[in-house]
Amino acid sequence: MNDSAEIDKAKLNLETAQVAWTDLQRFFAQGSVIWVDETLDMLEVAHCIAQDDSRVIKGWMDKKRLAPVRDEQAKRWLAEDAWLWSVVVRPLILVQKITDERS
């Protein structure tokens, strides 16, 4: 990875935060919230989206590791009062379930 990519990822890391699902519901309603599988590095995903790396993004989507948040997920997260990692890559908000290793 080149220095420019590392700088971009560092900037994205500064914009990463834990957020309550309840705070994201209006963005979910607009179709702007994208789920990132816990096995993926969310900063890598954010960087690929920012760079419009459609080949890599399509690969994750084909493997069901990246997708718009589904209604079932949204309902479950609401019921659990879930907190998620999030990062904004306009116009999208990427979210990933907080796991013990990442909290």
Report CA-CA distances (Å) from 1 to 7, 65, 94, 98: 10, 22, 22, 26
Whether the predicted pLDDT of 102 surpasses 50? no
Domain ranges of the chain: 3-97
What does the pLDDT average to over 82-100?
92
Q: Which two tokens mark 56?
A: 């890599």
Residue 1 confidence class, pLDDT cut points 50, 70, 90 = low
How confident is the prediction for the chain on average, in pLDDT? 91
> Percent of the chain at pLDDT above 70?
95
Rounded Cα–Cα distance for residues 41 and 43 (Å): 5
User: What token pair was written down for 78?
Assistant: 């609401």
pTM of the model: 0.88
Q: Mean pLDDT across the stretch 29-52? A: 95
Q: How far apart are CA 48 and CA 101, in angstroms?
A: 23
In whole angstroms, what separates CA 39 from the centre of its chain?
Answer: 12
